[in-house]
Amino acid sequence: GDSVTQMEGPVTLSEEACLTINCTYTATGYPSLFWYVQYPGEGLQLLLKATKADDKGSNKGFEATYRKETTSFHLEKGSVQVSDSAVYFCALSEYDMRFGAGTRLTVKP
């Protein structure tokens, strides 16, 4: 069945550092791919999405590119801020939504 594997956390970075959170997927067809973010005490919010190979999703300085050849959708940001501290979930949707285990990011001033 469909599944998502993302890098284990926690990830701790200093402000203005570069971020990469790896995400790979397994699917039988052509899923849509998502990154969701969960800030402390809140529900999940959609951060960005991509529906087909080579699509790049972007929002709030975050980017991820749908790579069919490597079945990956890595999340990147060039310069993180303290306000980016949250848990990030990679997800795919083909017939149903499948979430990764989540990666906790802490950004220190």
Closest to 100 (Cα-Cα) out of 28, 11, 33, 18: 33
CB of 16 to another protein, least distance (A): 26
CB of 52 to another protein, least distance (A): 10
Phi, psi of 42 (to 5 degrees): -125, 170
Nearer to another protein, 38 or 65 (CB): 38
For 16-36, b/e burial (b = at least 16 CB within 10 A) is eeebebbbbbebeeebbbbbb
CB of 97 to another protein, least distance (A): 6
Q: Which helix (H) or strand (E) holds 69?
A: none
- Residue 109 to residue 82: CA distance in whole angstroms: 6
Nearer to another protein, 38 or 71 (CB): 38
Contact 39, 20 (CB under 8 A): no
- Interacting residues with another protein between 79 and 98 (CB under 8 A): 87, 89, 93, 96-97
- Interacting residues with another protein between 17 and 56 (CB under 8 A): 32, 34, 36, 38, 42-46, 49, 51
- Tell me which residues touch another protein (CB under 8 A): 32, 34, 36, 38, 42-46, 49, 51, 87, 89, 93, 96-97, 99, 101-102, 104
